[in-house]
Amino acid sequence: MTDEPEDCTVIATSPSAKPAATKRAQLVVLAGSNVGEMYDLQGTSVIGRGREADIRLNGDGVSRQHARIIVGNATAELEDLGSTNGVFVNGDRVTHCQLQPGDKIRLGRVTILRFAYQDEIDEGFQRVMFESASRDALTQAYNKRFFLERLGSEFAFAIRHASALSLVIFDLDHFKKINDTYGHLGGDYVLATLAKQVLATVRSEDIFARYGGEEFVIISRGVDLASTGLLSERVRTLIERTVFEYEGKRIPVTISLGVSAMPHADIKTPEDLIARADKALYEAKRTGRNKTIRDGDF
């Protein structure tokens, strides 16, 4: 026997076989208020926070018309449109440059984009990776890490533009009793079912996250305290009326909610917004549970 390498067998491609997937130019948001979103690029695309922008990004420090990307057959050009805070590619400030796959673009203070050429498989993988990193496995709500990052960017945006931002914190009433009575699997069923109901109720632009254990949060941009109080009541009533049935047994479920909002003279940091909502939640639980309490109503 000889140690010669084996011949490679060439398999002819059938004429009916599917052609290789076409890769599309895309921007992937790595950091900022639109984190995880992907945008297809074709021809000329203006990036900014204004309504006239093709790709709208609401990050702190993003100008109304911040930058422009022009995609050709095999090229992509990035141009600063006179933005206030500049355009940075891989850490260097630029006014005009040719983009390469993998380049990281920073707009404003916190928004970071990655330029790439992706096919459907790449895009699907990217979405799976983002979801696994940012979602709570049991409830499919966003996780605490994502919530804190997003709250920071939303808070900065609200301060910069003197706009409304509200926060709801709620938890299940007597959840320990549910776990003790129906077991942890029964408790998990209640958490997952509750989250599914809330996800179907809040706006697509709202951030619904699991804050920890049986505690959840909702961030609502551009919504004042009174309107968020109404949203909280809708959520409370929805959960109270939802049928939770596990292994043939009905489980009574209610929630208590605390609401805070800005602008507010005493709210200077994201932690202040959390603390005031948490204090309102404590008051809701102290005064009987299954109710909404707004900051300032006690």
- How far apart CA 130 and CA 271 sit, in angstroms, is 25
Q: In what order do the strands lie in the sheet with 215-221?
A: 207-212, 215-221, 165-172, 255-262, 292-294
Q: How many CB atoms lie within 10 A of CB 69?
A: 24
DSSP letters for 90-137? TTEEESEEE--TT-EEEETTTEEEEEEEE-HHHHHHHHHHHHHHHB-T
Nearest CA-CA partner of 292 in 239, 232, 238? 232
Q: Residues 168, 259: contact at Cβ < 8 Å?
A: yes
Torsion, CA 230, CA 136, CA 151, CA 291, rounded to 10: 30
Residues composing the chain: 298
β-pair partners for 118: 24
Which structure tokens are listed for 154? 């939303």
Our answer to whether residue 214 is catalytic in this structure is yes
Catalytic residue among 214, 233, 240, 271: 214
Residue type, 175: F
The C-alpha angle 56, 58, 59, rounded to 5 degrees, equals: 130
Q: How many CB atoms lie within 10 A of CB 20?
A: 7
Q: Residues 190, 172: contact at Cβ < 8 Å?
A: yes
Q: Residues 83, 105: contact at Cβ < 8 Å?
A: no
Catalytic residues: 214
